[in-house]
Amino acid sequence: MSQEYPRKFRRPEQKLDPMMRILKAVHGANMPQELTEEELSRQRRNQEILGNLTAPTSGMKWECFEIQNIPAAWMRLERPHKKKRAILYCHGGGYTSGNLGYSKVLASKLTQCTGYDVLAFEYRLAPEFPYPAALDDAQTVWDHLMLLGYGAGDIVLAGDSAGGNLALSLCLRLKQSGRMLPGAILLMSPWTDLTGSGSSYEERKDLDPMLSAEYLAAVGKAYAAGQDPSCPMLSPLFGDFEGFPPTLIQVGSHEILFSDSERLCEKMKQSGVSCRLEVWEDMWHVFQMFPLRKASHAMECMAHFLLEEL
């Protein structure tokens, strides 16, 4: 079950149980040790295969197309359903990996739990295309939704990990441009601070089976490409959230990115935003992707949040 907003949800000295050690070993084997072209190509290829094989797409259809040369796809229910609202989903992958196939898993789960059509897209990746390429692509896709006739308030922005960073950065850019903001934001283990200043990076490093501070530093450097990582468009944690839409943040208790979620929620609440932080006990980075009971429950919580706020 989840709990809301504990300061110290797990003692830093707690060690991984056998299941977590296995997960850490398996995931570590697939995490590129260096951001070489060969390693990145392998990771991206494996993510595409994994997503296509594991996405729960029964009763849904996946419609691929392009938006100004950006690969994109709609995930829709096959049965008749209301289409007033939609979810714009930004995939994770540290800004250096992730693709449409990888997006299928959470896109299908978001469609299944909410009934909304979900638009996923394949933004350009670092190091080949550093900041602001991904953000520019996200805005292009947002503008496409506006051209389709959606109202900004009818769009839910969703993202996991770096995709959570991208969703927040897009919302900050829209606000700076004086444009209407989305109706709500859903964030799964968002990476909000590329400077790595949160206490959980050290406190939970032995608990996290998925990520390391070294990996985050490497992909963050590749994406920022010499830009100041504390810039709000790179580290949304340091942005101005006044006027932001209702936001749900879900994070696992076993994450070095725990502080990224906790501090984001604190800052949003200080700015008057309706923000809810759910901490999921014994869970890891973007656990919602896995075929787990807690993952299903977490998706249900997202649907309930949207029913309450929209």
Active site residues: 161, 255
H/E stretch holding 297: helix 293-309
Residue partners of 69: CB distance under 8 A and separation at least 6: none
Place of tokens 């896109």: 107
Q: How far apart are CA 27 and CA 302, in angstroms?
A: 26
DSSP notation for 115-182: --EEEEE----TTTS-TTHHHHHHHHHHHHHHHTT--GGGEEEEEETHHHHHHHHHHHHHHHTTPPPP
Please say whether the beta carbons of 65 and 120 come within 8 A. no
List the beta bridge partners of residue 90.
159
CA distance 210 to 20: 9
- Spatial separation of the C-alpha atoms in residues 309 and 80, rounded to whole Å: 24
Give me the phi and psi of 26, to 5 degrees please: -65, -45
In a 3-state reduction of DSSP, which class is residue 270?
A: helix
Tell whether omega for the bond before 132 is within 30 degrees of 0, i.e. cis: yes
Closest by CA to 302, choosing from 116, 138, 151, 174, is: 116
Do residues 261 and 191 touch, judged by C-beta distance below 8 A? no
